[in-house]
Amino acid sequence: MSLLLAIESSCDDTSAAIIDHGMVKSNVTATQKIHEQYGGVVPEVASRKHQSNIIPVVTAALEQAGVEKEDLSAIAVTRGPGLLGSLIVGVSFAKALSISLDIPIIEVNHMMAHVLAHFAEDPKPEFPFLCLTVSGGHTQIVKINSPYEMEILGNTIDDAAGEAFDKTGKIMGLKYPAGPEIDKLAQKGKVVFEFPEPKIPGLDFSFSGLKTSILYFLKAQLKENPNFIEENLADICASVQDRIVTILINKLVVAAQQTGIKEVAIAGGVSANSGLRSAFENAGNQYGWNTYIPSFEYCTDNAGMIGVAAYYKFIQKDFADLSLVPDARMKF
Ligand code: KG4
Ligand code: ZN
C-alpha cells in the first residue's frame, strides 16, 4: 500500500494532500490573505499563519480523502527552496508526525514538484519534456529527463516573472498579488505602449529592467497628465503583460529549438495568466509542440504536487531521516 500525506509550507500557502499510489485523493490549501495589506509576503507573519493553519489543513485533507492517519505509509514535505521560517513549520510538523506514527519522511524539492505537477492529471507529458516554471519566486526553463533527473537550462538573474507582475502592479496602485488583476484588466485593453525586451544571452531571463522602464515611463506620463494611469489602466496592463509574456515565450521557443524537444509544459502560479496560456498554445501550434498546462489547482503552490513528486521517491524507498532540516536555497 502507498498512502502518502504531503505537506507544503514554503511561502504563504499552507497545504496538505493525500496521495494514493501517485493519485491525488485530496488537496487542501489555506491561502494567507493577510499579506495583501502589506503589498507582499511578510516572512514572520507567514510562519505564524502556517502554525495556526497546519493542523486544520491536514485534518481536512485526511477527512476529504476518507483516510485515518494510522493508515498512512509515509509523510512527504517540502524541504526547500522557500522562506526558512515557513519551511520550518512544515518540516517540524512532518518530523513530529513521522515519530508518532513510526513511518518514514520523504523530502521534496518545491521546484521539482512544480514540474512533476503535470503527472497529477492526464494527459501526461512524455520524457524528455521542457517546462517553463513561472511563479512569484521563480522563472526557470527545465529539461526533465525522468522524475529523478532534471536540468535547469535557464533561470532569472533578478526578479521572477510573478514579481514582474506584482511589482509593476504596485507601481500602478494595484493590490498584491497584482498578477491576476493585471490579467483581468489586460483583457479589456490594447497593447499600445512599447516596453523594451531585455538583451540577456542564452536562456536566462531578467525582469528588473522592465520594472524600472515602466516606472520611468509612468513618471514621465504623470507629469503631463496626473490621471494618466486611471485613464489608460487597461492598455498599460495589456502592454505590460504582453511584454512579460513575449520575454517568456521567446526563450521557451529557443529552448525547444536547441534541444529538439516538442513536449512542452508550463507550471507555477503565473501559468494561470490568460495571455501566457494563449501565447503558449499559439507557439505550440506554430512549432508542432504537444503542450501541457496543469489545472489551476496544480499551478499554484499546493501539496498535491509535493505528493506526486514524493511518490517517485517512495517507490525507490528514498527516505529522509530525522536529521532533516529545511534548505531555503535548495537546488535540484
Ligand atoms: O506559484 P505561486 O502561487 O506561488 C509562488 O511560488 O510564488 O505564484 C504566485 C504568483 C504571484 O506573483 C501572482 O501574481 C502570480 O503568480 N499570478 C499571476 C496570475 N495568477 C497568479 N500572474 C499573472 N496572471 C495571473 N492570472
Ligand atoms: Zn511555487
Kindly report, residue by residue over 20-43, the tens digit of the pLDDT. 999 999 999 998 888 888 878 889
Ligand 1 neighbourhood includes 81 CB (under 6 angstroms):
no
Contacts of 110 (CB under 8 A, 6+ apart): 8, 10, 78, 80, 81, 82, 301, 306, 330
Q: Distance (Å, rounded) from C-alpha 164 to C-alpha 211?
A: 6
pLDDT of 278 above 80: yes
pLDDT in tens, 115-153: 999 999 999 999 999 999 999 988 999 999 999 999 999
Ligand 1 neighbourhood includes 189 CB (under 6 angstroms):
no
Q: Distance (Å, rounded) from C-alpha 123 to C-alpha 99?
A: 37
pLDDT in tens, 67-118: 999 999 999 999 999 999 999 999 999 999 999 999 999 999 999 999 999 9
Ligand 1 neighbourhood includes 165 CB (under 6 angstroms):
yes
pLDDT in tens, 203-235: 999 999 999 999 999 999 999 999 999 999 999
Percent of the chain with pLDDT over 90: 92
DSSP codes joined into one string, 81-135: SS-HHHHHHHHHHHHHHHHHHT--EEEEEHHHHHHHGGGGSSSPPPSSEEEEEE-
C-alpha 42 – ligand 1 centre gap (Å): 16
Give whole-number Cα distances, 220 to 150, 203, 226, 238, in Å.
Answer: 45, 32, 10, 19
Least confident of 42-46, 235-239, 262-266: 42-46
Contacts of 62 (CB under 8 A, 6+ apart): 5, 16, 18, 26, 68, 69
Name the residue at shortest CA distance from atom 23 of ligand 1. 179
What is the per-residue pLDDT for 36?
Answer: 84
Least confident of 30-39, 50-59, 283-292, 301-310: 30-39
Name the residue at shortest CA distance from atom 1 of ligand 1. 269
> What's the chain's average pLDDT?
96
Q: Where are the alpha helices (DSSP H) in the chain?
A: 43-65, 84-101, 110-116, 161-171, 179-186, 208-224, 228-259, 274-287, 296-299, 303-315
Name the residue at shortest CA distance from atom 24 of ligand 1. 273
What's the pTM?
Answer: 0.93
Mean pLDDT within 262-287 = 96
Ligand 1 neighbourhood includes 9 CB (under 6 angstroms):
no
C-alpha 300 – ligand 2 centre gap (Å): 6
Mean pLDDT within 266-294 = 96
Q: Distance (Å, rounded) from C-alpha 90 to C-alpha 286?
A: 43
Mean pLDDT within 173-186 = 96
C-alpha 67 – ligand 1 centre gap (Å): 31
C-alpha 179 – ligand 1 centre gap (Å): 6
Q: Distance (Å, rounded) from C-alpha 115 to C-alpha 298?
A: 10
C-alpha 123 – ligand 2 centre gap (Å): 22
pLDDT bin (cut points 50, 70, 90) of residue 239 is: very high
Ligand 1 neighbourhood includes 273 CB (under 6 angstroms):
yes
Ligand 1 neighbourhood includes 82 CB (under 6 angstroms):
no
Q: Distance (Å, rounded) from C-alpha 265 to C-alpha 324?
A: 31
